[in-house]
Copies of this chain bind each other. A is one copy, B any other.
Amino acid sequence: MKELNIKLKTKAILPLASQTVINLLLTNITIKTELMSVLKPHELSLEQFNVLRILRGQKGNPLNLQDIQERMVSKMSNTTRLIDKLILKDFVKRTECKKNRRKIEVYITASGLDKLLELDGLVNGAEQKVTSKLTIIELKELNRLLNKIQ
């Protein structure tokens, strides 16, 4: 509570539920800032990077937009336009599905795979950095608690 008051420069006494919500929002900003500091120089957003990783996970097989969306962290973002951005950067390719022309299939390109290879270590480093202040036991406990909230 004391730390929270310092962060928000206030003396207000907040209920535990409010403290938790604010702390989660603040932690989110910390994490996004850290990850973006790695991705920004490569002109990738967090979700763009995530979609590249999802496509790599397919090992050469394509995914259609819906399947991609289901695997994304934020299901709300506009997948069509996100893929457009990745196509402009030549990290993915899009082809029409022959079996069902409503669908489009998305592949990761060789240069997309290269970029991921370049980023893997950096992103892992950022993830390590933000979690490094907790022990393994604490991290497991944190995951357990977060899981209960969702």
> A residues touching B (Cβ–Cβ < 8 Å)?
3-4, 7-10, 12, 15-32, 35, 46, 54, 57, 67, 70-71, 73-74, 76, 124, 127-128, 130-131, 133-134, 136, 138-143, 145-150
State whether A141 touches B145 (Cβ < 8 A).
yes
Task: Please give the distance in Å from A88's CB to the nearest CB on chain B.
Answer: 25
State whether B143 touches A19 (Cβ < 8 A).
yes
CA distance A25 to B123 in the complex (A): 15
Task: Please give the distance in Å from A15's CB to the nearest CB on chain B.
Answer: 7
State whether B146 touches A57 (Cβ < 8 A).
no
State whether A9 touches B71 (Cβ < 8 A).
yes
Task: Please give the distance in Å from A70's CB to the nearest CB on chain B.
Answer: 5
State whether A26 touches B131 (Cβ < 8 A).
no
Residues of B within 8 A of A133 (CB): 148-149
Residues of B within 8 A of A15 (CB): 124, 127
B9, B23, B35, B67: which contacts A21 (Cβ < 8 A)?
B35
Sampled A-B contacts (25; CB under 8 Å): A3-B147, A8-B73, A9-B71, A15-B127, A17-B130, A18-B127, A20-B131, A21-B127, A23-B147, A24-B27, A25-B73, A25-B74, A26-B73, A26-B146, A27-B28, A30-B150, A130-B149, A133-B148, A133-B149, A134-B148, A138-B148, A141-B141, A141-B145, A142-B142, A142-B146
